[in-house]
Structure 1
């Protein structure tokens, strides 16, 4: 049978029409608590603290350690790309979405805690990169089920707001967790055993802190949100049969709703650009604009606050003007802010007799970048949740993860390529700024691809029988 096209007020037949329970504030708070907790893994373990420790000279040299980490994460990315859609599909079909969210979250927390045993010696490098890579796999699998729950706890009228609230909680949770880690472990404000730097005890204890933070704040959603119902006869599908069903469903989606496929492709491109804004933001702040480490940390904190505010505001706009409009406006805003950083980032200027340091340019327009990142991420998730047929959100968000992984090389490659091309042309030390152009190219490509995509109210997805 087919999910018929319907007006935006009601959307395709999906879990959004899930009755009064979907609007309960308690479920939304419990769901967003997972986002708050997961920020410890994203911000602390994979971005600012533990991977920095893992790629330090203590593990046999920064270059070799970085290459090992990159290779492990590449393998993890391949595993996620291959397995995410089927794991989402099977959790949908078997009525075990919440169960697998809990299992994958617990696995991520355990693997994170085991990073405590990664001592600062070259012989522990393999253990460290393997633990981080495995944790990434389980974290992404948990994210598929978590994102699929958005349709369960929201309605067509508030789905954008709920998605934005979740992203905002994630950003704010990352700030609080980072501040605690800085005060307790990295730059402790008082003496205690966890402040000891002997054998990097303080950094290894960060892994225990992150695991507990994630696990504790993930618990509410497992109690507050009900499990999805079992799809008749679907749970009996074998693993190979699940892939065959997946291929049939992708073909059916392309036949009946090609714009869903176009959205998956366009969102994969611009989400890679969004990720690069945070990935390379600190690098550009330090290398191009001369920020000290303390200033980079302060900027990261302010940037996360602004991104959280942007995500929440974008969520309200999403419900008013639709997710596609929010995404397009956000991408345009990102391109404008990036252009100012690129053009004004090559020196100090004088405006109306007043000196304008280049650092001010980054503070203003860098924070504007953060403001637009949140709404684009939030509305991208809400866009897909509006499209998912009843009981198939997990599978669709699995495809969302797969397409994202498939193009995750774009922004880093273009960032590096632009710097390489600029190096022999510009003055020494000025090439890094041109890496911004590579990120902007990716964002522009995502914008151009999403422009012809029809919004959720004008799409329909075929529901393919399991047998």
Structure 2
């Protein structure tokens, strides 16, 4: 079948109204969509368990010597620079060759190898750099894999289902990470003697967790790798591969073309970079605020984190329908506005104890995932067909470029709070909430000027992939 017929003929099992955004919602739980979403579920092992809750805590413990925390920060910052520099290039290469599944596979396997390699990081100073380099390498591979994964969104969805498909994947990512975290916490880390007699001696409980994370990522990545096959693009598959300098020249030309043809996409990349950093700040500093301001114990922080992620996951899946019905811009504006209100109330009632944070904190978490998922679908609706990987690479780059904003705003707001109130830095920690709110507000104001129209409908006109 030629490309023209392929673009207008509905796929088997797909509704003929899928190319019409105003048509009634069609079924999304096809096998290709499920296989795609399972990658989010599996990759949460690295994103949540390794980088958020378990390994980074382990590698910054006293066993690895003084200064491990600052060294971790510098190493991850270096990884972030490499991601920002090369993510659009890797996406561009996959677009040109039609090899998104291949590069998703390669980078996912690198994540699996890095995760398994962390098993060899024993709790001693001489193993610090092994752990940090594996962690940084895994982060780079994870982000590169995510570029190709996000670029597949248009292949498995239509204009009338893209919001629900994106929400399903993002929501399963939240829930999958928590399911695995509960398994390793109660099966390996929390008990004195875990399953198979594993204990904390020589860090074995954490190290075995790393092997489990590797297996989890690999297992749930297999479906999308076997289901969504690469289809080399006619006329580009035989083109000579550009070198690094030429790749950047093509990248800058893409940005210039996007600016001339549709400034909306460029404006959205900027706006989303700002509010996505604010969203990341909610989870980065949520536990800090819970413990330092509202008196949560370490165990209570973990319990809150579990509940918060489940709430975020379920809400993200549910809001996918609103994304398709109302459009992603309205979902993002609703989410950011609600989070700003909830965050402001947390600041006002900071002396209200744990109950206040449980109620308002969970309300805030309801809207984090929907904003993230709708951001992905907003961009998917704007991208010119055939440039998904490259533009999603830019999406990763712009996010990394402003990743300093939320941490800087949080710390600056606390300094201002100390100056205004005369309190100590620890006592004025609740002012950091205002810093996160300001980043979210800046992103919201930038987003308002971005038009929600789907300027590149052809990117979504192709029928979804079917099994």
Question: CA distance change for structure 1 residues 191 and 237 in 2, over 3 Å: closer, same or farther?
Answer: closer
Partner of residue 126 from structure 1, selected from 122, 125, 129: 129
Q: How far is the alpha carbon of 1:296 from its aligned partner?
A: 0.9
Partner of residue 423 from structure 2, selected from 427, 436, 439: 427
Aligned 1:76-95 pairs, distance under 5 A: 76-95=79-98
- Tell me, yes or no, if the aligned pair for 2:187 and 2:194 is still in contact at 8 Å: no
Tell me which residue corresponds to 2:399.
404
Q: How far is the alpha carbon of 1:35 from its aligned partner?
A: 0.3
Instruction: Calculate the TM-score normalised by the size of structure 1.
Output: 0.90
Alpha-carbon distance in structure 1 between the residues aligned to 2:80 and 2:434: 25
2:220 is aligned with 1:214: no
Tell me which residue corresponds to 1:351.
none
Partner of residue 450 from structure 2, selected from 436, 450, 453: 453
Q: How far is the alpha carbon of 1:313 from its aligned partner?
A: 2.1
Partner of residue 106 from structure 1, selected from 93, 106, 109: 109
Please give the secondary structure, in 2, of the residue aligned with 1:327.
Answer: helix
Aligned 1:14-413 pairs, distance under 5 A: 19-20=10-11, 25-61=30-66, 64-188=67-191, 191-193=194-196, 195-233=198-236, 235-239=239-243, 240-345=245-350, 347-348=351-352, 358-413=353-408
Tell me which residue corresponds to 1:355.
none
Q: How far is the alpha carbon of 1:342 from its aligned partner?
A: 0.4
Please give the secondary structure, in 2, of the residue aligned with 1:259.
Answer: helix
Tell me which residue corresponds to 1:438.
435
Alpha-carbon distance in structure 2 between the residues aligned to 1:217 and 1:442: 34
Alpha-carbon distance in structure 1 between the residues aligned to 2:43 and 2:9: 26
- Tell me, yes or no, if the aligned pair for 2:188 and 2:195 is still in contact at 8 Å: no
Q: How far is the alpha carbon of 1:190 from its aligned partner?
A: 5.5
Question: CA distance change for structure 1 residues 48 and 66 in 2, over 3 Å: closer, same or farther?
Answer: same
Q: How far is the alpha carbon of 1:420 from its aligned partner?
A: 2.2
Please give the secondary structure, in 2, of the residue aligned with 1:457.
Answer: coil
Alpha-carbon distance in structure 2 between the residues aligned to 1:419 and 1:193: 46
- Tell me, yes or no, if the aligned pair for 1:256 and 1:461 is still in contact at 8 Å: no
Alpha-carbon distance in structure 1 between the residues aligned to 2:193 and 2:214: 23
Unaligned runs of 5+ in 2: 15-27, 460-467
- Tell me, yes or no, if the aligned pair for 1:30 and 1:224 is still in contact at 8 Å: yes
Alpha-carbon distance in structure 1 between the residues aligned to 2:433 and 2:123: 34
- Tell me, yes or no, if the aligned pair for 2:291 and 2:297 is still in contact at 8 Å: yes
Q: How far is the alpha carbon of 1:99 from its aligned partner?
A: 0.4
- Tell me, yes or no, if the aligned pair for 2:108 and 2:145 is still in contact at 8 Å: yes
**Worse-matched range after superposition: 97-106 or 16-25:** 16-25
Question: CA distance change for structure 1 residues 16 and 133 in 2, over 3 Å: closer, same or farther?
Answer: farther
- Tell me, yes or no, if the aligned pair for 1:383 and 1:456 is still in contact at 8 Å: no
**Worse-matched range after superposition: 72-81 or 234-243:** 234-243
- Tell me, yes or no, if the aligned pair for 1:288 and 1:432 is still in contact at 8 Å: yes
CA-based RMSD: 2.0
Q: How far is the alpha carbon of 1:68 from its aligned partner?
A: 0.8
Please give the secondary structure, in 2, of the residue aligned with 1:156.
Answer: coil
Alpha-carbon distance in structure 2 between the residues aligned to 1:361 and 1:104: 42
Question: CA distance change for structure 1 residues 132 and 310 in 2, over 3 Å: closer, same or farther?
Answer: same
Q: How far does the alpha carbon of each residue in 1:133-168 deviate from its partner, in whole angstroms, 9 at most, with x for none?
A: 111000000000000111111010000010001111
- Tell me, yes or no, if the aligned pair for 2:192 and 2:200 is still in contact at 8 Å: no
Q: How far does the alpha carbon of each residue in 1:192-222 deviate from its partner, in whole angstroms, 9 at most, with x for none?
A: 4553111111111111111111111111001
Alpha-carbon distance in structure 2 between the residues aligned to 1:456 and 1:47: 36
- Tell me, yes or no, if the aligned pair for 1:97 and 1:228 is still in contact at 8 Å: no
- Tell me, yes or no, if the aligned pair for 2:414 and 2:431 is still in contact at 8 Å: yes
